[in-house]
A = this chain, B = another copy of it.
Amino acid sequence: MIHVGVNGYGTIGKRVADAVRAQPDMSVAGVAKTSPNFEAKVALERGYPLYAVDEDRTDEFAEAGFDVAGTVDELVAESDVVVDATPAGIGAENAELYREHDTPALFQGGEDADVAEVSFNARANYEAARGADYVRVVSCNTTGLSRLLAPIVEEYGVEKARVTLVRRGGDPSQTGRGPINDTLPDPVEIPSHHGPDLNTVFPDISVDTMGMKVPATLMHTHAVNVTLESETDAESVRELLDAESRLFVLPPELDIDGAGKLKEFVQDAGRPRGDCWENCIWGDSITVDGRDMYCFQAIHQEADVVPENVDAIRAVVDTADKEDSMALTEDALGLDGQIGRSVRDPVAQAPTLTDGGRESDE
């Protein structure tokens, strides 16, 4: 069993902890949190040992009535691998702590690439992270682009990719963010950071990205253009993408017009927290014009990096190769690239908050 510590128990950390617990070869050593709130309550109810940043914070948790197992320092010492899911920029500050304990660590995409030896996407470059001490799981958007481009690079070659990323303004719980009723070029400068970030996974791809922010919270939506190096047709591209386990090509008969219906679909399918781990590509949008391929895809910013974190754990401890790890992760989560194929009963399968054991992998 790989004992995994999760430092930072927010949007990403809590999802990674649950996904780790669902794996047959992993256990959650504990989760660390800065302040007591509803998420701390859920962590304890789920049976995760809760760690505080330092002694002062330990007192704060105690005053709020939450039992604390120790400080982050102790969690790192007890873990085989730490997943750092702290806010952007904090991960880099934590790197020294992981080095002191000689504990391998994963960082999230909000950190600069130089925080780690490898910027990671399971489908694109799993092997590069095997045995590495420090790995950065790229951001939700870069993960979405990496998964989409990996099979296209292999099958057709990419002359140039151009992507407009229409980003949600904030997550549903980020009530302080905007915009309201506006569409912001963000950043105004071109390329946005997403293109260079994609190059940390695919150094050789020529890619230009344009970022925008809109008053939506559910998902990002990408308008993708790829000029291929060889000719093909839309049906071949659709089949290529459909064969990928972490790409879901939305069939038109589902009548899903945006992130709202998509989210409702995955909720109905019994996914925990309504998480959509896959890229969702509108099948009707896949278009080929000469060597230009186009499509729209939706990216669930809270969820798509979760299976990637699980795979990166195995890469770091080097207990599985790419195919085995991805299959193990997906089997444990019930992720098979066809959301409607494995519909769970959303009531029957829901773990109770006091269910400290591993969730069903059905």
Contact = CB atoms under 8 A, between A and B. Distances in A.
Interface in A201-247: 208, 210, 212, 214-221, 223, 225
Interface in A173-207: 179, 181-186, 188-191
A164 B189 CA distance: 16
Nearest to A219: B183
A161 to B, nearest CB: 11
Given A168-B183, A179-B258, A282-B188, A215 B215 contact: yes
Contacts of A218: 181-183
Given A166-B166, A210-B294, A284 B188 contact: yes
Nearest to A263: B182
A287 interface: yes
A165 to B, nearest CB: 9
A248 to B, nearest CB: 15
Given A181-B215, A183-B259, 13 more contacts: A162-B162, A164-B210, A181-B260, A183-B214, A183-B216, A183-B298, A184-B258, A188-B284, A189-B284, A212-B221, A214-B216, A215-B215, A223-B223
14 contacts: A160-B292, A162-B162, A162-B292, A164-B166, A166-B212, A183-B298, A188-B257, A188-B282, A189-B285, A190-B287, A208-B289, A210-B223, A210-B296, A212-B221
Interface of A: 160, 162, 164, 166, 168, 179, 181-186, 188-191, 208, 210, 212, 214-221, 223, 225, 257-260, 282, 284-285, 287, 289, 292, 294-296, 298
